[in-house]
A = this chain, B = another copy of it.
Amino acid sequence: MHQTQRQQTADLLKARGLDCALFAFRESVTWLTGFAPPVQTGPNLFSGGPALVWYAGGHFWLIVQDVYADLAAPFAQEADGTLITYATYTIEQPILSVDHLAAALRPLVQDMRSAPRVGVELDWLTARLHRTLTEAAASVEIVPVDGWLAPLRLIKTGEELALLRRNFALCDIGQAAARAATYAGQREIDVWAAAQAAINGAAGCRVPLGNDCVVGYRSPNNIGGWPLDYTIRASDSLIVDLSVVAGGYWSDGCGTYYAGEPTPRQQAIHQVARAALEFGIEQVRPGIAARELDRRIRAFIEQAGYPVYPHHTGHGVGASGHEAPRIVPYNDETLQAGMVIMLEPGIYYPGETGVRLEHGLLVTPDGAEVLTQHDTGW
């Protein structure tokens, strides 16, 4: 799994004169290996640091804590990969995970024959492990490689697409559950809980769930936020923006639901937002600049006479919930076939009501395939 990603990375490092590299950013680790640790309650209490990927001479080592050995086992089957686990939880002695992780890394660094330069993700490696690295190879020159993998992650592989499709389907299930649970007297958190239960039940396991579940009258920000105990009234809109994270890959999707018959203003802005989204989807094709796609969708809403949303028009999605290409006013990147992007126009009247509708799209050679199937009507 993820062999394509590793080959691209090896090629990139070679082209830039690096024989060795150390990756510590969780997105890099997942993208390179397929391994993704659970995150629901924060980092594992016994971890001692992030999972690492060490690269040397065409081979990749994944270093994870022992309790994740099963989760990382598929990587160990790869011809170009070796799995290393380090001891964490024990009742026989104090928890020394940080030492054990450093000890797992040290011999790999010492095995470098004569690499004068090592690429390192300095933004996410811990200072402790950086010290391990420099102590194990005192004369090494460290080259920051933060962000180097981002351009490689733009085009999704078939493996990644399969994961994303599964996760988008889980988002759809959550959207249907949220729609059914939206009625007067429910609270934001009740709708969220219904969506979460439906998604976990369909997945057959716990999956992390983002993003927003906000009633229209929330002020000053009715655009996004975690569900709270705001009660939904008959005249209210509810924006439900869900990201399911499973297998280390994200997904996304947003619907807007109503406790009763939407008011005339709600109907009007919902229709315009939906038309803007449909219009945006029609604009998607290889070669269009992200900034131009952003501009066209904003202009659609402005020309309809409504206030333009203050957030991005969209973004890529993959090993992160928000990655390149950003669909924003400054971005000159052009869309390419194989990218997976979200589009999410919205119209908001702070303190009163709001609407946002979002679909996920695969950029195809001649347009876009819509990956989310949820109903964006009211």
Contacts and interface: CB of A to CB of B under 8 A. Distances in A.
Number of chain A interface residues as a range: 35 or more
A124 B128 CA distance: 7
A73 interface: no
Contacts of A228: 204-205
Interface in A20-75: 26, 38-43, 45-46, 48-49
24 contacts: A26-B43, A39-B39, A39-B40, A39-B41, A39-B42, A40-B40, A42-B245, A49-B123, A49-B124, A92-B328, A122-B126, A125-B126, A126-B126, A126-B127, A127-B127, A127-B129, A128-B144, A187-B204, A189-B205, A192-B206, A194-B197, A196-B200, A197-B197, A205-B228
B41 A245 contact: yes
A190 B200 CA distance: 8
Given A92-B330, A187-B201, A193-B200, 6 more contacts: A40-B209, A45-B322, A91-B312, A126-B126, A190-B201, A193-B201
Nearest to A309: B91
Contacts of A38: 226
B124 A126 contact: yes
Q: Which of A126, A127, A190, A227 has the most CB of B within 10 A?
A: A127
Contacts of A243: 41
